Amino acid sequence: PVAQAAEEPLKARPVALQQAAQILAAAANGIVAATPDGVITFANPAAADLLNRDAGAMVGLRLERAFVYGSGHPDAGKPLPLLAQFKAGPFYTEQEGHLARTDGASFESIYVVAPYAENREVHGYVITFRDITLRRRSEAELRLAAAVFEHSPEALIVADAKGRVKIGRAHV
């Protein structure tokens, strides 16, 4: 009975690892793990899709090659300062970056860096990130609409689908 009780956690371990792998693969956000010196040890399918890379080929790649500022950014072609962030933080804080894809396209992103440790010894870092390009575009369109609405010399009325007035502004 004692030996059997000791074996049960060992039998459950492969199931837990398989489940963790399935969860990471299903995540919508890109997830990348790296060593403290910046070598990628894991990339989920979403990370590969966002960066237009093969997830398996990302393993062993240096972060400076995978996480590069995209076209339109003042530092286009240069790596994000992730290694500096590994050393000094901030951790668990959303940061924005304009990331490049291998096909030449780029996208607005939010990323978070977090260390992972065992017994208070840091073994590496996890970078989670997502594409916020559509959100940024929508925000810009809303700002434009607000400016047009605010500065229009004409009276404007906005109604919902049932004809109820939601916003009205008469030029005075």
Q: pLDDT, tens digit, for every residue of 150-159?
A: 766 777 677 7
Q: pTM value?
A: 0.74
Q: Beta partners for 42?
A: 33
Cis peptide leading into 90, omega within 30 of 0? yes
Calpha distance 109→89 (Å, rounded): 18
Q: pLDDT, tens digit, for every residue of 16-62?
A: 888 888 899 889 999 999 999 999 999 999 999 999 999 999 999 99
Tokens 């590994």 identify what position? 86
